[in-house]
Structure 1
């Protein structure tokens, strides 16, 4: 996973307020705004107890519940610094529990976890409105969306909508296929999910450009269309559950292959810290343990992290703080443009939950070796 979406956050200095809360607006709650307000009051008290100032509290209060246009179940992540918004993001799934933290570094791992697996995809729904395939008066309605799962649940991507006379559908399907290929190329699409009427769906799939056809999965039915939510959301949920993005899978495979041969990998918190201090990390592989007690000492700069206060001070760093290890590691990754791979333990366990894929020595051409 590339962490460039966090760069604006780390361009600011702390301390940060980090707030995660359920901001669902669905039929299960009679007065969702009142429920959100009650949740925020509890979190406000938690921030105050951790030393948050009045400006910080006001800045968070102005942002909490501002996602009124997002329907259904979801959550919100709010980060502020020095009385100003630092980052605001919608969560595809409500947090397991509402939390608030005020500290030197933002509590960012719950947000990253909700960005995973980060699968770029195309969803296409084809509906035929005639009585049978030879009904020239019927129409074929096409809806398509290009997105990244699961973020598209709450932040819909590019949408296409076309209504085409049934008699023109075989020709029009080829044109639409070429348009879809362009959007797929822009997002580096790895899955094309096509649902709907079997006749119209079959014509479209058979006329898709070859690069797309190799990624197609067809599903039955058309799904309910919910404004503001992902097209074919429930079917995508079933299809992508437990799946890693192809890019992250390749990085994991490289790490496991190199580990098996004793090559350029490392495991454990000390090895990860040492590699990040030297800017040698290509990708950090993490078994996400939100309950982990591991802590690191950090300074003002991303590469200033250490296992002990004494080590960090020995480098001449005077302003030091003790923070969650995952928060310190994430800031260092963003600062060095390294990647993060969240690895389910069923896929691989790494020592202390942390594995490192080191940057390979540069070949003579001066470029990083490509991912296998």
Structure 2
């Protein structure tokens, strides 16, 4: 999973205010509920040292996602009186939280992006006489997205209305159009719902590379405005799976580890590789707990397990920070990817490992 969407967070030095709250619109008087939640978080940030200007900037952003219906959440980050990132969460946070700290509290936002599976969803409906397949219309809707975040930030939809009499011919052309969209999105899967007959015609006319990725789904297909096409079915298809790109990185890690290739495992070895900008992808079985700490300096690669180690690198006045915050900053700052991999697929020493861009030079012969 690429973390380039977090780059605005680190454009300026801290301190940062990081806010996570439930902004669901499925309850009675949602705006009142959101305002009460925010008031508690505002008071907490004030006690932590955030000034009024920063609090006012956050207040303008909190709850401004009124166009997103249903259950969801919001992650808002600000620094030096400026909003730096405002993201929608496909699920409300387990607990509303507000943190004013030197580094942004970005890991909860990252974990809501996991597993970040690219897909294209297609719904086709036949409307016509119940005993004829030559009268009426076929409607097609298609939308690319990245699950699960696209459930609340859906992409642009393709709409087509085609006479049934021309559906066999037109579906061939639409199949190539869908193939182009899927290629641009690097889609792992094509989720097809709606009418069985019209869907079968379309699937048979898709290019083979796309047809092999088709997953047919049933159930109700109408989708609430502002939510992803086939949202309930997407959850059923993708939950518990990894993106194909991430799974490929896991296989590369397993192969390299077996051949003593450029990989590392364990927190100390992985932190050392991050110090050198050597990590191309960090693999985690689970996010580090909030009690795990690292020492950091002002630059992304300045992190260590102890204060003396960082001082030995010439860092003045190191600070002790949460490990998850330090790790995310290091990944974004060095352009490394993050792969969340279940222990059932790959057990890592201390729950952490890395694919390296290059191997350490061996000892001189």
Structure 2: 5+ residue runs without aligned partners?
361-365
Q: 2:115 is matched with which residue? A: 117
Give CA-to-partner distance per residue, 1:182-203, whole Å, 9 cap, x none.
1111111110011111111110
| Cα separation, 1, equivalents of 2:319 and 2:152 | 35
Q: 1:218 is matched with which residue? A: 216
> Structure 1 residue 258 and structure 2 residue 271: aligned?
no
> Structure 1 residue 332 and structure 2 residue 330: aligned?
yes
> Structure 1 residue 182 and structure 2 residue 180: aligned?
yes
Q: Aligned to 1:274, what secondary structure does the other structure show? A: helix
Mapping 1:187-266, distance limit 5 Å: 187-266=185-264
Q: 2:103 is matched with which residue? A: 105
Q: 1:370 is matched with which residue? A: none
> Structure 1 residue 308 and structure 2 residue 275: aligned?
no
Q: 1:25 is matched with which residue? A: 25
Contact 2:262 2:359 in 1 (8 A): no
Contact 1:123 1:232 in 2 (8 A): yes
Please report how far the alpha carbon of residue 133 of structure 1 lies from its aligned counterpart in structure 2 after TM superposition: 6.6
Contact 1:126 1:222 in 2 (8 A): no
Contact 2:288 2:323 in 1 (8 A): no
| Cα separation, 2, equivalents of 1:353 and 1:38 | 38
Q: Which runs of 4+ in 1 moved over 6 A?
A: none
Mapping 1:346-365, distance limit 5 Å: 346-360=344-358
Contact 1:146 1:157 in 2 (8 A): yes
Q: Say how many residue pairs are matched.
A: 360
Structure 1: 5+ residue runs without aligned partners?
363-372
> Structure 2 length as normaliser, TM-score?
0.95
Q: 2:363 is matched with which residue? A: none
| Cα separation, 1, equivalents of 2:286 and 2:51 | 31
Give CA-to-partner distance per residue, 1:74-133, whole Å, 9 cap, x none.
000000001110111000110111111111100000000111111110111110012347
| Cα separation, 1, equivalents of 2:158 and 2:353 | 41
| Cα separation, 1, equivalents of 2:226 and 2:183 | 24
Contact 1:104 1:321 in 2 (8 A): no
Please report how far the alpha carbon of residue 221 of structure 1 lies from its aligned counterpart in structure 2 after TM superposition: 3.8
Q: Aligned to 2:28, what secondary structure does the other structure show? A: coil
Compared CA separation, residues 306 and 290, structure 1 to 2 (3 A): closer
Contact 1:20 1:76 in 2 (8 A): yes
Shifted more, 145-154 versus 214-223: the winner is: 214-223
Give CA-to-partner distance per residue, 1:286-311, whole Å, 9 cap, x none.
12246342111111111111111122
> Structure 1 residue 267 and structure 2 residue 265: aligned?
yes
Contact 1:127 1:222 in 2 (8 A): no
Contact 1:125 1:222 in 2 (8 A): no
